[in-house]
Amino acid sequence: MTVNIRQMATLCVALSICALLVVPGNFPGLSGDARITLAIFALATCAWIGTPIDDTYIALGAGLALTATGVISSDALFGTLGDDTVWLLICAFVLAAAVARTGLAGRAAAFLVGGARNVRQLTHLTTAALVVTAFAVPATSGRAALAMPVFLALAKVLADRTRLVVMLALLFPTVILLSAVATLIGAGAHLITVSVLWEAAGERVGFTDWLLVGLPLAVVSSHLAAEVVLFTTTKRADRKGPVHITAEQIQEHSEQPVTGPWSAAESRCALLLATVVALWCSEPLHRVPPAVVALIGAIVAASPALGTVRLKDALKTVPWSLLLFMAATMAMGLALSDSGAAKYLVGGIPLDLPPWLFLAVVIGVSTAAHLVLQSRSARSSVLVPLVVAAAVGAGVNPVAAALASTAAAGFCHTLPASAKPVTLYAEIPGIPTYTPRDLLRMSAVLAPMTALLVLLFTVAVWPLLGVPLT
């Protein structure tokens, strides 16, 4: 009944907006293309919020409607699938499949976690390991799935300390979501943000540019979040006592070896991954686009002689639905920008605010947006075009505003359904895990802390790294 009421309410809102847009006398100065774009945008957003229809289906329908009405051309719609960021993500998933096939993740986890001697060390070593996975596996859901065997092994070893298991169950998705901002391939929303910045503001943000501003924020926010998780889910007595996890204990729950000499496949894969990441990070020196580097890496990873995975098996791991969603929402962002709809929407908003206050509003809205739009990519496709347009009008650097909005939108921990990693670790058969009450308790502290941290980085740290405030 509640779902039906919500669907009816969102439908009424969408139809009301469309009805207002149809009347020529309303909204003077709004062009025909802009009216159509806003109507389609409103319908798509309300469908994302209030219906169980697949997000990708809605996005494709919106893209098709924009093309059929002539707001954007078919070349613009289909051209988004050929965007270099889409190819970057495809090739990154092929590389991730090669890494997963070799078992390097389990070996790295055993090396890091095995050094823990108390609960706090275990917490922060696990956090460090999860942050590093942002360079090896694109998308938060993929990282959550890759880390699951490591969590299960730790849960079995600590089975007699239930609250620590619950803490780790909450730590894994929390760090995975917050550390995604470290790299351009950390989430599909990042690629949408980069595309909008290029199309709407003419600003190109490369892999190295994102890494420079995102990695420090990811490291700081992840370790602060680890402390929040530790203190909101455990008691002093839980944190006392030594912790000693051996590689042999982790090996009992891993199919691939986590100790002993490296196999030839592991060595090749580790060398390939290190080379690809090094080339990504040194893009300003050699000028080879990240997508081309990723394609070379994917070809080598799937090659018969040097590879560790067959190409057809690796391509099965690519989330094609996410790629189609990204392409369609890129087209929607292009329509908002080119039609003048985004500029019109923010035209009535008072923008004579100090830059820090403008960014504080952007970050606050972006942090809370997950309560309405569960899809991280959908949040960016809705918010970033408006944020970029508003930033230009407010005299704020659109790159700083877009990055701040995207980073703040990475907080989505309030409810079990707020993000796929949170849902994945919420119910694990045979393992004690967190409850909605645990999530709310943690979010009450983590949400304002994350928002303030993003604001601090945007105002004080990023200008030192080449992203000025104005």
- Residues 325-382: tens digit of each pLDDT: 888 888 888 888 788 877 777 766 666 788 888 899 999 988 888 777 777 777 888 8
Which of 71, 100, 127 is the C-terminal boundary of a domain? 71
Phi, psi angles (nearest 5°) of residue 96: -65, -35
Whether residue 404 is found in the same domain as residue 417: yes
Residue range 99-123, pLDDT digits in tens: 777 777 777 777 777 767 788 888 8
Whether residue 299 is found in the same domain as residue 434: yes
Helices 376-394, 355-368: crossing angle, 10 deg rounding: 160
Residue range 430-449, pLDDT digits in tens: 788 888 888 888 888 999 99
| Total domains in the fold of the chain | 2
Closest C-alpha among 415, 417, 413, 397 to residue 405: 397
Whether residue 27 is found in the same domain as residue 138: no
Question: H helices of 395-457, where?
Answer: 398-408, 420-426, 436-456
Question: Average pLDDT of 15-31?
Answer: 72
Which of 34, 52, 71 is the C-terminal boundary of a domain? 71
Whether residue 43 is found in the same domain as residue 107: no
Whether residue 405 is found in the same domain as residue 299: yes
- Read off the amino acid at residue 224: L
Whether residue 174 is found in the same domain as residue 246: yes
Closest C-alpha among 192, 177, 181 to residue 214: 181
Establish if 31 belongs to a structural domain: yes
Closest C-alpha among 142, 121, 120 to residue 133: 142
Per the structure, the complete domain to which residue 30 belongs is given by: 1-71
Whether residue 232 is found in the same domain as residue 362: yes
120 against 175, higher pLDDT = 175
Whether residue 82 is found in the same domain as residue 61: no
Whether residue 23 is found in the same domain as residue 138: no
Question: Average pLDDT of 277-298?
Answer: 85
Q: What is the pTM of this model?
A: 0.84
Mean pLDDT over each residue of the chain, to the nearest integer: 83
Dist. CA 425–CA 169, nearest whole Å: 6
Whether residue 398 is found in the same domain as residue 285: yes
- Of the given ranges (164-178, 251-265, 370-384), which has the lowest mean pLDDT? 251-265
Establish if 377 belongs to a structural domain: yes
Establish if 25 belongs to a structural domain: yes
Residue range 37-78, pLDDT digits in tens: 888 888 888 888 777 788 888 889 988 999 998 888 888 888
Establish if 470 belongs to a structural domain: no
